[in-house]
Amino acid sequence: MVPEAKIEDYVLVHVGVAISIVDEEEAKKTFDYIQKIGELEELQNSGKDYEISQ
Amino acid sequence: MKYLSEYRDEEITQGYLQALRKEVTRPWTIMEICGGQTHSLVKNGILDMLPPGITMVHGPGCPVCVTPLSIIDEAIALAERPEVILCSFGDMLRVPGSSRSLLEAKARGADVCIVYSPLEAVQLAATNPDREVIFFAVGFETTAPANALSVVQAHKQNISNYSILASHVLVPPAMEAILSDPENKIDAFLAAGHVCTIMGMDEYDPIVEKYKVPIVVTGFEPVDLLQGIYMAVMQLEKGVAKLENQYARVVHRDGNKLAREAIGEVFDISDRTWRGIGEIPKSGYEVKDDYRKFNARLKFQLEKMVVKENEDCISGAIMKGLKKPFQCPNFGTKCKPEHPLGAPMVSSEGACAAYYQYAGMKEEVL
């Protein structure tokens, strides 16, 4: 059910039917997010103001 | 990137755990909706590693678990007809009915066949024109498009010996039922990522608004779950309630339109009884009148069965997040995967089965 899928795309398959294409950019954000948390902690420790942006 | 091993990375997992420990200032109770998430949390030992203030309770998102006894009895009655081949996903087979399970019916001679996709059942109908093939269509919104597709395919190919016994359930009405329970103590939800892959996120906005409860659409790997929990805790600690998407690599805000069109083509929304919870209005799908000849209930003129649930099973309290499997007096004694009293001990998505298999029977997990 993802007619726009191309060869080499990763798709999510449920009971024999593809239901979503895995988005690489979004997939990377999980790792950026944890990195940001780490950087925030460093900032926090150095006493600077911080704000979470996601 | 393969989208799997990275999300099981130990260093990143530890990073999220550390971040969580820093943020939690008071106890919070978070419910993960989906049984797949429950299994991942228990299997990967996440419940043991979370800061003590965070309690995860396990939601009703196990389609096998919430299928009422009456529908299992319907499936067994159909399977025992000589002309019928009843096709089902594997974990439905050992769920106890009133007098026996589908597996026991199979041992007594019923033709019960395990399939991995409803499309296999359509195939089976095409190759066995002298038999009636019935697919036991159990599932949440994630599975509904494939089940709908099987009906459309049978219709297009003129396969008249195929029908489905629909047992579909929907997540948002169940969340509302849980939140309306005066005993509920849930502060935030991890919504089921794969359900939202189909339905999108819009239907959760009114729940966030009405109950002021944070909802984070979350995936299934350890890093996904910890990030989802972290995002929920950040909201709770800040005192805000928003709908967020942790699982954006798979879930889009508007879901999968094509899949929803397939659902809309074949199914109508209907009232549904949930095993252990009771009837929830507009919480399921039934086959539309246009496709009535593919509705096994009508085709075989099944009468509505009134049956009594096993009182020894506390699955209702478990699926509403009011109790943990260890709090059941029969857990691991009268009720084991080989001899289950109720479905949560059977299904690969059931909370009791997860605790039995992975938590090593430890009381501390409570």
pTM across the whole model: 0.91
**Nearest chain B Cα distance for residue A48, angstroms:** 17
Q: What pLDDT is stored for residue B362 in this prediction?
A: 55
Burial (CB count <10 Å: 0-12, 13-18, 19+), residue B337: middle
Q: What pLDDT is stored for residue B32 in this prediction?
A: 97
Higher pLDDT, B99 or A30: B99
In 3-state terms, what secondary structure has residue B347? coil
Q: What pLDDT is stored for residue A44 in this prediction?
A: 63
How does pLDDT run across B195-213, given as a tens digit for each residue? 999 999 999 999 999 999 9
Strands B28-34 and B188-192: parallel
Q: What pLDDT is stored for residue A48 in this prediction?
A: 45
Nearest to B344 by CA among B75, B168, B96: B96
In this structure, chain B runs to a length of 366
Separation in Å, CA B138 to CA B15, B68, B258, B323, B358: 38, 11, 20, 25, 25
pLDDT band at A45 (very low <50, low <70, confident <90, very high): low
Higher pLDDT, A38 or B232: B232
What percent helix, strand, coil does chain A show, rounded to 5? 40, 15, 45
Q: What pLDDT is stored for residue B361 in this prediction?
A: 52
pLDDT at residue A39 greater than cutoff 80: no
Q: What pLDDT is stored for residue A43 in this prediction?
A: 64
Is B152:B266 a contact under the CB 8 Å cutoff? yes
Nearest to B87 by CA among B39, B146, B36, B171: B146
Q: What pLDDT is stored for residue B343 in this prediction?
A: 87
Which residues in B lie closer than 8 A to residue A51 (C-beta atoms)?
Answer: none
Q: What pLDDT is stored for residue B364 in this prediction?
A: 46
CA dist B112 and B134 (Å) reads 10
Residues of B contacting chain A (CB within 8 angstroms): 1-3, 6-7, 12, 15-16, 19, 22, 89, 116-120, 139, 142-143, 145-146, 149, 194, 197-198, 223-224, 227, 230, 234, 246, 248-252, 256, 258-259, 262
pLDDT < 70 stretches in chain B:
1, 360-366
Is B194:B221 a contact under the CB 8 Å cutoff? no
What's the whole-number average pLDDT of chain A?
81
